[in-house]
């Protein structure tokens, strides 16, 4: 009967953390959270070990947060906390990798006894400084850094902290609202957890937690033992900021453990594309889990057999105070590197490379000396996605975020929250790499200012100089592009000025910003593609041959 009860508790726990995430989405102020799902939510035992995560959310948030809660407990040991306490940080090394991610941790008490902890992370559009982007040279330029501290103490809000945050960000209403939404989702999770414990007549959560972790650890170990031992290597070059970045990986399988080592990768960048180790661990372990043990729940137990290393001073192990704001531009490429290794372990299971890094520009008004001071002030962080790589037996997915899993922000929401008009959004025909199975398509987005004013774009794009590679004879996907056209009437959209993939630029008054997201690589010889699939692509205007 205990086994049956434990399974029922586990199933209920999954429902609770998913409701926790949905509460966060329903109450968030930032559109990138509310519409795109750039968040994570989970429940932890009293030692800080993750027991369950919500399906809604990103691997970078979830897996980095899995290591984060223990750091909160080092700063505030559980015996020092009380009912109504809520902790917060956006420290990149104690949280999830950059200042825009706020992690909130809430202990759950039954009377005076601590039962568990709930944690949630969401992306706040602006934290001051230079703004979200890769241009800073060190962390101090990137915005306000909040060490692990109390957001609420015994139910009383830390008004001094809230005033400090509001005084240092460009949109204080959104920042404050999002911190309340993080607090609310944890509160909802804790309330439901206590109700579950009463229903199942449990006076402690510790035994069930140990069972969850041990079961997951054992299942993951069995999956790894079925793989051939050995060392498998793969490398990939990506755009970087001002010069290409080399990502080298050695994946070692030994018994029931996997070690991922990024020795040989590029050194630190002088710009904000460096990756803290917690974010490297998050996406590298996710790359392994895509192939190995993907049916095993993602928690502390299933993550234990996978270790991730990178040398100090490497771009994948950036130490304080390195600039890390755009750490996702490199970090989200890591699953492709790891899957290149896994394709040698289990040939035919890994997809081709995809766009991988999301295209998430920060668009804001060009105020003061940069533009029209009377234009409406705004700052938004919309999400645009390229194509995924072809799958082993299927075409790639078009305009789909992999590995982050976040959704594209709806045009209607972007236009409501900013004085911008999105005059074009459509599939980018021919952008998927040819193959027996073609890569997913990117998209074309055109943006103008509704008031004819200039505006700022901060870019963190990749796959412009280094497109997604095909696999086993499949062709590469189309490279991304970003440029400005002046609206001339020459039949070609006027003069065009190509922009680099990263950094801040001004879109002049009356001009159109154009973004063409990358396509995914293909798999296999294009000559072996099903003729009916080719005909269907042609009929839909999605011809993949470039």
Residues 500-527 pLDDT 10s: 999 999 999 999 999 999 999 999 999 9
Which among 175, 194, 216 is the end of a domain?
A: 216
Length of the chain: 546
Residue 373 lies in a domain: yes
Can you tell me the distance from the alpha carbon of 52 to that of 280, in angstroms, rounded to the nearest whole number?
A: 21
The pLDDT of residue 535 is above 60: yes
Which range (55-69, 107-121, 369-383, 475-489) has the least confidence? Answer: 369-383
Q: Please count the structural domains in the chain.
A: 2
Range in 186-195, 235-244, 460-469, 530-539 the model is least confident about: 530-539
Res. 273: pLDDT tops 60: yes
161 domain residue, yes or no: yes
Of 205, 289, 151, 203, which is closest to residue 16 (Cα–Cα)?
Answer: 205
Considering the domain boundaries, does residue 536 fall inside one?
Answer: yes
Q: Which residues contact 119 (CB under 8 A, 6 or more apart)?
A: 41, 42, 43, 44, 65, 68, 69, 72, 103, 104, 105, 106, 186
Q: What is the mean pLDDT of the chain?
A: 94
Does position 487 have pLDDT exceeding 80, yes or no? no
Q: 182, 216, 250: which is the final residue of a domain?
A: 216
Nearest-angstrom CA–CA distance, 327 and 331: 6
Output b/e per residue, 453-466; b: 16+ Cβ within 10 A. bbbbbbbbbbbbeb
User: How large is the average pLDDT for residues 348-365?
Assistant: 94
Helix axes 59-75, 277-289, angle to 10 degrees: 130
Kind and range of the H or E element at 232?
Answer: strand 230-238
Place of tokens 């950094």: 503
Q: Is the pLDDT of residue 181 over 70?
A: yes
Q: How far is CA 16 from the centre of its chain?
A: 22
Q: How far apart are CA 75 and CA 474, in angstroms?
A: 51
Tell me phi and psi for residue 369, to 5 degrees.
Answer: -70, -15
Query: 230 has which bridge partners?
Result: 253
In a domain, residue 500? The reply is yes
Query: Residue 129: which residues within 8 A CB-CB, separation 6 or more?
Result: 99, 136, 140, 141, 142, 143, 144
Furthest-apart CA atoms within the chain: distance in Å = 77
Average of per-residue pLDDT across 114-127:
94
**What pLDDT is stored for residue 1 in this prediction?**
65
Tokens 């696999």 sit on residue: 471
Instruction: Find where tokens 């033992």 sit.
Output: 225
> How many beta carbons lie within 10 A of that of residue 244, not counting itself?
13
**Burial of 148: CB neighbours in 10 Å, binned 0-12, 13-18, 19+:** buried
pLDDT tier, 492 (very low <50, low <70, confident <90, very high otherwise): low
If you ran DSSP here, which 8-state letter would residue 275 be given? -
Residue 237, SS3? Answer: strand
Report the pLDDT averaged over residues 333-356: 96
Q: Are 182 and 102 in contact (CB under 8 A)?
A: yes
| Positions of E strands within 351-441 | 362-365, 379-380, 420-427
Query: Is pLDDT of 490 > 50?
Result: no
Is residue 267 domain-resident? no
The pairs formed by 525-529 with CB atoms below 8 angstroms and a separation of 24 or more are 525/435, 525/436, 525/473, 525/474, 526/434, 526/435, 526/436, 526/438, 526/474, 526/475, 528/436, 529/434, 529/435, 529/436, 529/437, 529/438
Q: 331: pLDDT confidence band, cut at 50, 70 and 90?
A: very high
Q: What is the pLDDT of residues 422-443, one digit of tens each?
A: 999 999 999 999 999 999 999 9
- Cα–Cα distance, 283 to 398 (Å, whole number): 21
Opening angle at CA 289, ends 239 and 32, nearest 5: 55
| Prior bond of 370 cis (ω within 30°) | no
As beta bridge partners, residue 448 has 421
Domain range for 376: 351-546
The pLDDT tens digits of the residues spanning 23-73 come to 999 999 998 898 988 999 999 999 999 999 998 889 999 999 999 999 999
Query: Three-state SS for 391?
Result: strand
**pLDDT above 50 for 491:** no
Percentage of the chain beyond pLDDT 70 is 97
pLDDT of residue 546: 42
For residue 375, the model assigns a pLDDT of: 77
Using DSSP's 3-state secondary structure scheme, residue 457 falls into: strand
252 belongs to a structural domain: no
C-alpha pair distances (Å), 177 with each of 27, 77, 382, 427? 8, 28, 18, 35
Where are the alpha helices (H) located in 167-263, listed in sequence order? 172-199, 206-225
45-49, 280-284, 418-422, 492-496: segment of lowest average pLDDT: 492-496
Between 545 and 24, the higher pLDDT residue:
24
Query: For residue 308, what is the enclosing H or E element?
Result: strand 306-309
Q: Which of 183, 216, 249 is the last residue of a domain?
A: 216
- Within a domain: residue 278? no
CA 543, CA 546: separation in Å to the nearest integer?
A: 8
pLDDT at residue 96, as a whole number: 94
């Amino acid at each position: 009967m205990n086994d049956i009860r434990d399974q029922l508790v586990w199933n209920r726990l999954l429902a609770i953390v998913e409701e926790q995430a949905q509460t966060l989405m329903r109450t968030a102020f930032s559109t990138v959270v509310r519409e795109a799902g750039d968040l994570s939510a989970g429940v932890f035992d009293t030692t800080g070990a993750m027991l369950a995560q919500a399906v809604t959310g990103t691997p970078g948030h979830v897996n980095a947060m899995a290591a984060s809660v223990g750091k909160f407990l080092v700063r505030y040991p559980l015996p020092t906390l009380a009912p109504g306490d809520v902790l917060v940080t956006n420290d990149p090394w104690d949280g999830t990798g950059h200042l825009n991610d706020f992690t909130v941790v809430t202990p759950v008490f039954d009377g005076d006894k601590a039962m568990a902890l709930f944690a949630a992370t969401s992306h706040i559009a602006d934290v001051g400084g230079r703004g979200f982007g890769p241009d800073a040279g060190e962390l101090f330029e990137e915005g306000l850094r909040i060490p692990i501290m109390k957001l609420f103490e015994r139910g009383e809000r830390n008004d001094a902290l809230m005033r400090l945050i509001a005084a240092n960000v460009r949109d204080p209403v959104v920042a404050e609202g999002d911190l309340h939404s993080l607090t609310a989702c944890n509160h909802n999770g804790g309330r439901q957890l206590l109700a579950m414990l009463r229903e199942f007549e449990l006076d402690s959560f510790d035994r069930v937690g140990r069972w969850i972790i041990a079961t997951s650890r054992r299942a993951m170990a069995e999956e790894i033992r079925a793989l051939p031992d050995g060392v498998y290597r793969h490398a990939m070059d990506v755009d970087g900021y001002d010069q290409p970045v080399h990502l080298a990986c050695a994946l070692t399988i030994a018994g029931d453990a996997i070690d991922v080592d990024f020795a040989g990768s590029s050194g630190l960048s002088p710009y904000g594309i460096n990756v803290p180790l917690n974010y490297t661990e998050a996406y590298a372990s996710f790359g392994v889990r895509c192939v190995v043990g993907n049916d095993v729940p993602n928690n502390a137990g299933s993550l234990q057999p996978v270790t991730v290393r990178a040398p100090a001073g490497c771009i994948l192990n950036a130490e304080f105070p390195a600039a890390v704001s755009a750490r996702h531009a490199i970090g989200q490429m890591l699953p492709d590197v790891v899957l290149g290794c896994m394709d040698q372990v289990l040939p035919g299971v890994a997809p081709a490379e995809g766009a991988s890094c999301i295209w998430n520009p920060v668009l804001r008004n060009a105020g003061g000396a940069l533009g029209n001071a009377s234009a409406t002030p705004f700052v938004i962080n919309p999400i645009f996605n390229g194509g995924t790589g072809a799958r082993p037996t299927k075409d790639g997915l078009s305009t789909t975020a992999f590995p982050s899993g976040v959704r594209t922000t709806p045009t209607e929401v972007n236009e409501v929250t900013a004085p911008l008009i999105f005059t074009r959004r459509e599939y980018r025909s021919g952008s998927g790499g040819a193959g027996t199975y073609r890569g997913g398509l990117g998209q074309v987005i055109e943006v103008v200012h509704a008031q004819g004013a200039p505006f700022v774009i901060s870019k963190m794009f990749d796959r412009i100089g280094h497109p997604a590679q095909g696999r086993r004879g499949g062709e590469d996907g189309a490279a991304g592009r970003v440029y400005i056209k002046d609206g001339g009437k020459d039949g070609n959209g006027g003069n065009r000025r190509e922009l680099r993939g990263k950094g801040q630029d001004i879109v002049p008054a009356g001009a159109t910003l154009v973004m063409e997201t990358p396509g995914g690589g293909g798999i296999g010889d294009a000559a072996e593609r099903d003729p009916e699939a080719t005909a269907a692509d042609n009929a839909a205007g999605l011809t993949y041959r470039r």
